[in-house]
A and B are shown apart, each in its own frame.
Chain A
Amino acid sequence: QLQLQESGPGLVKPSETLSLTCTVSGGSISGSSHYWGWIRQPPGKGLQWIGHIFYTGSTYYNSSLMSRVTISVDTSKNQFSLRLSSVSAADTALYYCVRRNSGWRAFDYWGQGTLVTVSS
Chain B
Amino acid sequence: QSVLTQPPSASGTPGQRVTISCSGSSSNIGSNPVNWYQQLPGSAPKLLIYSNNQRPSGVPDRFSGSRSGTSASLAISGLQSEDEADYYCAAWDDSLIGPVFGGGTELTVL
Interface residues of chain A, those whose CB is within 8 Å of chain B, are 46-49, 51, 60-63, 96, 100-101, 104-108, 110-113
Contact A105 B45 (CB under 8 A): no
Do most interface residues of chain B lie in helix, strand or loop, or is the interface mixed? strand
The tally of residues in B whose CB lies under 8 Å from a CB in A reads: 25
For B56, the chain A residues whose CB sits under 8 A away are 108
Contact B104 A108 (CB under 8 A): no
Contact B44 A111 (CB under 8 A): yes
Kindly report which residue of chain A lies nearest to residue B45, judged by CB atoms. Answer: A110
Contact A105 B32 (CB under 8 A): yes
Cβ-defined partner of B44 (8 Å) among A100, A104, A105, A112: A112
Q: List 16 A-B contacts (CB under 8 A).
A: A46-B103, A47-B45, A47-B90, A48-B101, A60-B97, A60-B98, A61-B98, A96-B44, A104-B50, A105-B32, A105-B33, A105-B35, A105-B50, A105-B92, A107-B90, A110-B46
Cβ-defined partner of A46 (8 Å) among B32, B44, B98, B101: B101
Kindly report which residue of chain B lies nearest to residue A100, judged by CB atoms. Answer: B99
Cβ-defined partner of B45 (8 Å) among A60, A63, A96: A96
Taking the nearest CB of chain A, how far is it from the CB of B88, in angstroms?
6
